[in-house]
């Protein structure tokens, strides 16, 4: 069996796709490009209307690229609109989120029996696509923010046992992974039904594996204890948190049914930086939520400036059928959303540049990804512990792939979206 993958959306989707690929290969499958596949697996997203449009667009593209392949679709869009997938888009198999753990088995049932694959020089045998792996530790959410369709698509909270996660990370270490990212729909709620918390999981990973670098995926800014913040001092837990703010206005946060108001967020940031002063913070902000006034938007801008986010994911509000906010009065017009997005993008670029400049001149351990040749030059890209992107140019006979090397941060890229690095020993 030859299998190809396409993934749209969040890190949790990426974690699921990587897990499917490992399980397919354990059954003797070979991971190949879409054009050569017997089956193509697409993990869809429905977080915004644009994500749904892209999901449909990718399905059509995949069918054009390989009309004879069986197309298997899962993810939030497939879960919310299974009939559209099966009929209008002519998908061969729709696997809703509740059955994701059985996707490999269900896919095998719709395919003819294959003899064991013959590995050739151009076969793409599965290895994680990055030097970091995304680990799904939790799914679902017990909270219902008024704008969020993901809780509808993902269902109630379910956490994986700690030892299952430890075993997966140990296996990935054997495959050469240097960094793991713990991911979930409501990561901060990990273990709520197991009688443990996220801090317990982090401690277990750090104490029971030799993983050099551990990261956390997106964390809702609540249910984070003082024990959790103390862990930020650990040298193998990377000093970067993604905490979705969504709005700096308390009136909007209440309409969103968020459990963290602006002053709560400030306190949380203060707690975190008391333990790790150099902590990098990134966030999500929705612009144009129903009822958002100019004053509400100004409060979001002010709080973003105050916190100094290194990166902001900006989402113009997208009404999602099945959520409370879709029916709220005082919907904001698209031109206003567009203008507010433009202003916030401008601020975000300025804050990102400031975050990069704050690290200029430092020597940081950078995890380097696979290099590429650009106009005859070999270029590597990697990330600091603070999740700042670094670019370096090296002779063609030097290979940094999947190594962690001390790197001096010597400059800022022209577009302000990355740092320029030099290997510390060379710089010295």
Residue by residue, DSSP assigns 182-248 as EE-TTGGGTTTTTT--HHHHHHHHHHH---SEEEE----SSS--HHHHHGGGSTTB-SEEE---B-S
Q: Tell me the torsion sign for CA atoms 135, 140, 145, 146.
A: positive
Nearest to 325 by CA among 336, 310, 315: 315
All CATH 3.40.50.12160 domain ranges in the chain, comma separated: 2-109
Please state the separation of Cα 379 from the chain's center in Å: 24
CATH number of 2-109: 3.40.50.12160
Nearest to 265 by CA among 279, 286, 249, 251: 249
Q: What is the pLDDT of residue 36?
A: 93
Phi, psi of 68 (to 5 degrees): -85, -15
Q: What is the pLDDT of residue 426?
A: 56
Q: What is the pLDDT of residue 48?
A: 87
Q: What is the pLDDT of residue 313?
A: 97
Q: What is the pLDDT of residue 228?
A: 96
Residues 6+ apart with CB under 8 A from 261: 250, 253, 254
Query: Residue 210 class from Cβ within 10 Å (0-12 exposed, 13-18 middle, 19+ buried)?
Result: exposed
Size (the chain), residues? 428
Nearest to 103 by CA among 119, 138, 79: 79
What is the residue-wise DSSP string for 112-166? Answer: ---PPPPP-TT-B----SSSEEEEE-EE--S---TT-SHHHHH-S-EE--HHHHH
Spatial contact of 266 and 241, defined as CB atoms under 8 Å apart: no
Q: What is the pLDDT of residue 337?
A: 97
CATH number of 132-358: 3.80.30.20
**Backbone region of residue 197 per phi and psi (left: phi > 0; alpha: psi in -120 to 50; beta: other values):** beta
Spatial contact of 264 and 295, defined as CB atoms under 8 Å apart: no
CATH 3.30.70 fits 363-427, yes or no: no
All CATH 2.40.50 domain ranges in the chain, comma separated: 363-427
All CATH 3.80.30.20 domain ranges in the chain, comma separated: 132-358
Q: How far apart are CA 110 and CA 108, in angstroms?
A: 6
pLDDT in tens, the chain (428 residues): 899 999 998 889 999 999 999 899 988 999 999 999 999 999 999 888 889 999 999 999 999 999 999 999 999 999 999 988 888 788 999 999 999 999 999 998 887 654 444 433 333 333 444 688 999 999 999 899 999 988 888 888 999 999 999 999 999 999 899 999 999 999 999 999 999 999 999 999 999 999 999 999 999 999 899 899 999 999 999 999 999 999 999 999 999 999 999 999 999 999 999 999 999 999 999 999 999 999 999 999 999 999 999 999 999 999 988 899 999 999 999 999 999 999 999 999 999 999 999 999 999 999 999 888 888 889 999 999 999 999 999 998 899 999 999 999 999 998 889 999 999 975 44
Q: What is the pLDDT of residue 59?
A: 93
Please state the separation of Cα 139 from the chain's center in Å: 14
Q: How far apart are CA 391 and CA 333, in angstroms?
A: 40
Number of H helices, E strands in the chain: 14, 19
Q: What is the pLDDT of residue 130?
A: 61
DSSP-derived secondary structure letter, 72:
E
Q: How far apart are CA 337 and CA 62, in angstroms?
A: 32
Residue for token digits 């509808």?
A: 152
- Put simply, whether the predicted model's pTM sits higher than 0.85 gets the answer yes
Q: How far apart are CA 146 and CA 323, in angstroms?
A: 6
Residue for token digits 């009939």?
A: 83
């Amino acid at each position: 069996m030859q299998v190809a993958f396409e993934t749209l959306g969040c890190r949790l989707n990426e974690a699921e796709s990587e897990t499917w690929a490992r399980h397919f290969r354990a059954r003797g499958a070979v991971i190949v490009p879409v054009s050569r596949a017997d089956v193509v697996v697409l993990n869809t997203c429905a977080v915004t209307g644009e994500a749904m449009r892209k999901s449909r667009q990718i399905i059509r593209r995949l069918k054009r690229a390989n009309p004879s392949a069986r197309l298997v679709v899962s993810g939030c869009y497939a879960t919310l609109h299974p009939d559209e997938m099966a009929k209008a888009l002519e998908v061969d198999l729709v696997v809703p989120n509740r059955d994701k753990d059985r996707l490999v088995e269900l896919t095998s049932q719709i395919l003819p029996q294959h003899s064991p694959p013959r590995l050739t020089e151009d076969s793409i045998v599965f290895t994680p696509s990055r030097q970091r792996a995304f680990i799904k530790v939790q799914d679902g959410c017990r909270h219902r923010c008024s704008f969020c369709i993901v809780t509808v698509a993902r269902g109630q909270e379910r956490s994986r046992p700690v030892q299952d996660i430890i075993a997966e990370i140990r296996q990935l270490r054997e495959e050469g992974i240097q960094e793991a990212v713990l991911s979930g729909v409501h990561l901060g709620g990990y273990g709520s039904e197991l009688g443990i918390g996220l801090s317990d999981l982090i401690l277990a990973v750090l104490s029971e594996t030799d993983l050099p670098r551990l990261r956390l995926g997106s964390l809702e800014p609540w249910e984070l204890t003082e024990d959790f913040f103390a862990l930020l001092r650990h040298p193998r837990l990377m000093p970067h948190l993604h905490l979705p703010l969504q709005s700096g206005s308390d009136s909007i946060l209440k309409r969103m049914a968020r459990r963290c108001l602006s002053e709560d967020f400030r306190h949380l940031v203060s707690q975190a930086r008391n333990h790790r002063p150099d902590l990098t913070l990134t966030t999500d902000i929705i612009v144009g939520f129903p009822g958002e006034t100019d004053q509400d938007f100004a409060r979001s801008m002010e709080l973003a400036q105050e916190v100094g986010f290194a990166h902001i994911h900006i989402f113009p509000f997208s009404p999602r059928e099945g959520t409370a906010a879709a029916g709220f009065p005082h919907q904001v017009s698209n031109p206003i959303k567009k203008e507010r997005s433009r202003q916030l993008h401008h601020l975000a670029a300025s804050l990102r540049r400031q975050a990069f400049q704050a690290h200029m001149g430092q020597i940081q351990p950078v995890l380097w990804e696979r290099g590429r040749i650009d106009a005859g030059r070999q270029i590597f890209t990697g990330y600091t512990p603070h999740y700042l992107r670094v670019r370096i140019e090296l002779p063609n006979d030097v290979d940094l792939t999947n190594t962690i090397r001390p790197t001096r941060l010597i400059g800022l890229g022209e577009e302000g979206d990355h740092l320029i690095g030099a290997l510390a020993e060379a710089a010295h």
